[in-house]
Structure 1
Amino acid sequence: MKNKLSDLNNHLFAQLERLSEEGLTAEQIEQEGKRTDSIVRIADQIVRNADLQLKAATIIANHGDRFIPMLPMLGKSE
């Protein structure tokens, strides 16, 4: 299974549409609210992880020659 940030975007908009449905009972709204809270917590973590990966890639791109020896998967094997 391949997940991309664009998939996350689609899930968030789908949840927004579910929350916007007219005719939901109070119980259904409460259930969707709880579901939304869970989705948002997970989405926030995914976005923070993607941001960290981007920052790491930027550091490697700009200063990789200084850091590569200290990175186990990129440095020389012993």
Structure 2
Amino acid sequence: MTKNKLSDLNDHLFAQLERLSDEALSPEQIDQESRRGEAIIGVADQIIKNASLQIQAARLLSEHGYDPTPHLPAVDGGNKPRQPLPIVNGKTQ
């Protein structure tokens, strides 16, 4: 199973843009790529909304003195363990 990261989303969006920009495409192929692009955008929007919600939750935890790093979205692929933030006087630094 492949683990995707947020930076991969950018790659997918630009790859779709390149496919749509291919001047050798027939009208039928352009239509197909356009529909594929709409589907990709729909999924991308949901991924971005999910990451935004994770960031909001991490911010809330941080504001209350908890380490937010385990709750942040994976940007680096999520394979590497995150280093916890230091806590000084009960507050995450």
Normalising by structure 2, report the TM-score: 0.67
Measure the CA separation in 1 of the matches of 2:49 and 2:34: 22
Aligned pairs, how many?
A: 65
Amino acid at match of 1:43: A
Structure 1 unmatched runs, 5+: 66-78
Measure the CA separation in 2 of the matches of 1:3 and 1:26: 32
- Deviation track 1:36-65 (CA, whole Å, cap 9, x = no partner) reads 000000000000000000000000011256
The residue that corresponds to 1:25 in the other structure is 26
| Residue pairs, 1:33-72, within 5 angstroms | 33-64=34-65
- Deviation track 1:6-63 (CA, whole Å, cap 9, x = no partner) reads 0011000000000000111100000000000000000000000000000000000112
Structure having the higher strand fraction is: 2
Amino acid at match of 1:52: L
Identity %: 60
CA RMSD of aligned residues (A): 1.1
Measure the CA separation in 2 of the matches of 1:17 and 1:50: 25
Structure 2 unmatched runs, 5+: 67-93
Amino acid at match of 1:39: I
> Tell me, what secondary structure is at the counterpart of 1:30?
helix
Normalising by structure 1, report the TM-score: 0.79
Which has the higher Rg, Structure 1 or Structure 2? Answer: 1
TM-superposed deviation, 1:2: 1.5
Greater relative CO (CA pairs within 8 A, separation 6+) = 2
